[in-house]
Structure 1
């Protein structure tokens, strides 16, 4: 039998995702700042792309939090 759709804790879960994503973004940026002269162009590009995806995810999470809070 399928579980009922319990949305009561969606905002809390989304906020946890926001915190985790912000932490990953910060740590990646800190790594870039500390090791800029040691990393390859490929690694630099990979981290920058991931950080852009993280920023997009943060916007989506925050939008979804607002939607959930308004319901």
Structure 2
């Protein structure tokens, strides 16, 4: 029988993962902006609202990048 054990918390690449998430979110925002040229009404408004949520996510990602960078400098100690 196998014992259930949790994997150790590996934060070593969190900054890079967050940076990838920022890039992907920005790419999605740009694609949505381009799509808006071909939409109108409710669909256009939905795209606008989604991009507003993406903008807030970007702010959160930036804060997390700062936190993770600082934690990396401090050796991830609590």
What TM-score results when the alignment is normalised by the length of structure 2?
A: 0.81
Counterpart of 2:12 in structure 1 is 8
Structure 2: which 5+ runs fail to align? 72-78
Q: Distance in 2 between matches of 1:40 and 1:11?
A: 37
* Separation (CA, whole Å) in 2 of partners of 1:48 and 1:57: 14
CA distance in 2, matches of 1:31, 1:52: 15
State the 1:40 CA deviation. 3.3
- Pair member with larger Rg: 2
RMSD value, Cα = 0.9
Structure with more of its chain in helix, by fraction: 1
After TM superposition, what 4+ stretches of structure 1 lie above 2 angstroms from structure 2? none
Describe the SS at the equivalent of 2:48.
helix
Classify the secondary structure of the residue corresponding to 1:2: coil
Q: Note the C-alpha offset of 1:31.
A: 1.6
Calculate the TM-score normalised by the size of structure 1. 0.89
Gaps of at least 5 residues in structure 1 are none
- Ranked by relative contact order (alpha carbons within 8 Å, sequence separation 6 or more), the top structure is 1
Q: Which residue of 2 aligns with 1:29?
A: 33
